[in-house]
Amino acid sequence: MSEKTKLKYLKPFGPGILNGYLPKNILDNFVKISDDVISKKIQKWNYQLVGRIDDEWKIPDLLFRDYEIADYLDRLVYEYTKCFITDMKELDEYRDFYHNPIDIKVKRGDGWINYMTESEYNPIHLHTHCTLSTIFYLDDYIGDEQIATKDSIDSIYGDKQTESEDGFTSFINGSFPGGEINPGPTRLNELGSTLANFSPKTHFSVKPKRGMFFIFPSWLLHMVYPFIGKGKRVTASINYGVKLFLRKNK
């Protein structure tokens, strides 16, 4: 993995999420894979998926090698796993428990391209038969107009929110009210913000940006909102299996 990528290990609500941007050469080759897949349409994949999306096509595994991005993608998943292990070790130190070194084995599973068009969507779901999953944004299209226009509202951070989440990805982990349960406007004025009770964040929404990616546990619920427009929202997903092996003392 000679290309340099700035990574962030995000923990917005418990499960770790690795975020970064693909280097230009990797992104360009990934887009070529996408173009290749949609032009040849070798294996339709939407029957394997929950998305209400017509154009979902499996990526032949050889294409990752042919376009020279296989090793890079596998290394990203390896780096996620290293972050997870580091986090686990730091927590275990509080109970004076120390691990032997851990070896990591990463295996790439099924990958597919999503060509999402107007009114299509991905309902809340998780990924099965894998350990980790990924989302790669190959463009940043989210529609030509908002499905519904709302007046600006005060967010819990005190600013104004006017933008819809059409075409956004939303990660979901549990259900918990923000701050106090139904605190009411008077109590909110006293608190200053619903954040005052340090309630856990349960939803993490992402606006697509070209080249951005996320790696996350396969059991983490996520969804994609529909949009209005004539363009296509193009993403790729790849599932991975990961095995950890405790190195034995010699």
pLDDT of 107 above 60: yes
Q: Give the whole-number percent of the chain exceeding pLDDT 70.
A: 81
Residue type, 24: K
Please indicate, yes or no, if residue 215 is contained in any of the structural domains: yes
Residue type, 82: K
Task: Give the residue numbers spanning the domain of 156.
Answer: 14-246
CA neighbor of 215 nearest in space, from 4, 11, 64, 36: 11
Please indicate, yes or no, if residue 82 is contained in any of the structural domains: yes
Query: For residues 150 and 129, which has the higher predicted lDDT (pLDDT)?
Result: 129
- Rounded Cα distance, 114 and 163, in Å: 24
pLDDT of 78 above 70: yes
pLDDT of 180 above 50: no
Look at residue 191 in the predicted model and tell me its pLDDT.
54
Residue 163 maps to which CATH number? 2.60.120.620
Instruction: Give yes or no for a contact between 122 and 50, defined as CB atoms under 8 angstroms apart.
Output: yes
Contacts within 8 Å (CB) and 24+ apart, 59-68: 59/33, 59/111, 59/112, 59/113, 59/236, 59/238, 61/108, 61/111, 63/33, 63/36, 63/37, 64/33, 64/108, 64/111, 67/29, 67/30, 67/32, 67/33, 68/29
pLDDT band at 151 (very low <50, low <70, confident <90, very high): low
Matching residue, tokens 């595994």: 61
Please indicate, yes or no, if residue 4 is contained in any of the structural domains: no
- Write the CB contacts of 47 (distance below 8 Å, at least 6 apart in sequence): none
Please indicate, yes or no, if residue 69 is contained in any of the structural domains: yes
Pairing type for strands 122-125 and 132-137 reads unpaired
Please indicate, yes or no, if residue 1 is contained in any of the structural domains: no
For the entire predicted model, the pTM comes to: 0.86
| Residue range 22-61, pLDDT digits in tens | 999 999 999 999 999 999 999 999 999 999 999 999 999 9
For range 102-126, the mean pLDDT = 97
Please indicate, yes or no, if residue 211 is contained in any of the structural domains: yes
Please indicate, yes or no, if residue 6 is contained in any of the structural domains: no
| Residue range 205-224, pLDDT digits in tens | 999 999 999 999 999 999 99
Count of structural domains, the chain: 1
pLDDT band at 181 (very low <50, low <70, confident <90, very high): very low
pLDDT of 179 above 80: no
Please indicate, yes or no, if residue 5 is contained in any of the structural domains: no
Look at residue 174 in the predicted model and tell me its pLDDT.
79
Residue type, 186: T
